[in-house]
Structure 1
Amino acid sequence: MQLGLFDTLRSKPIRLPLAPHGSVLHAASDPDFTFRLPHPRMVWDRAAIEVHRHEDGMWMWSASLADSEGSSYRVGPKWGKFAETREDALFFAVEELEARIGKKAGSDAALILKWLNALKDNPEAFK
């Protein structure tokens, strides 16, 4: 991962071991913040990020992508992905999706990357 100029101002993500029987938010529970890039024809989103505050005060994130391979997961401590601030959690979720898209070509990948760049380091994202 290539660090940018302002990345040194961020705390590092806190990675705990995966807890196979750990918890995630239940379907009836909403995360504190959800960022979605809707799909124009399908019922699922092209990409989605969930950011939620854990009971210990740390922030967790999930990053979901609907492409030919598709990968989706619900935010929760099960995944061991924590950050000190909600802004850092969003940043790390964006980084995760960017890494998963990698160098994929196509209009969907370009659209998702454009959306991710708009979210990254955006102080207005949580308003």
Structure 2
Amino acid sequence: MTLLDHDLGPAASTALVVRALQPLVRAEARAEAPAAGVDPADLEQSVWVRLLERPDAAGPPADAARWVRDTVRAEARRARRTARRERPYAGTEPVAGPADCPERAALGAAERRALRSAMARLPGRCPRLL
């Protein structure tokens, strides 16, 4: 019996394929992840995304084991390329502190407006005293 022997609806067919391929995908991802420098779960997830991106007309891969191996290796290569191109933030500019964030500036301005408005409503000489 192969994955293509069943004529089920698309959701049931996808669930059947996922259930059948899960051990193979997990094993291949765990084997390739250390060399790629990624978490095996991330690699496994990207393979599942590739499977779900396949057109419905294409159906499950004819040679599922080969497709899984090829896809895991392709995703591992992509992860290695991405890691080579990424550069850490050099930190040449000072990071804005909590007092410098725009939200705090807006809240501070609103508080000062409310205070001025309340002071203006005080009777007599009270505003000058404060």
User: How high is the TM-score relative to the length of structure 2?
Assistant: 0.28
| Structure possessing the higher relative contact order (Cα contacts under 8 Å, 6 or more residues apart) | 1
Counting strand residues as a fraction of each chain, which structure ranks higher?
A: 1
**Which structure has more helix as a fraction of its residues?**
2
TM-score by length of 1: 0.28
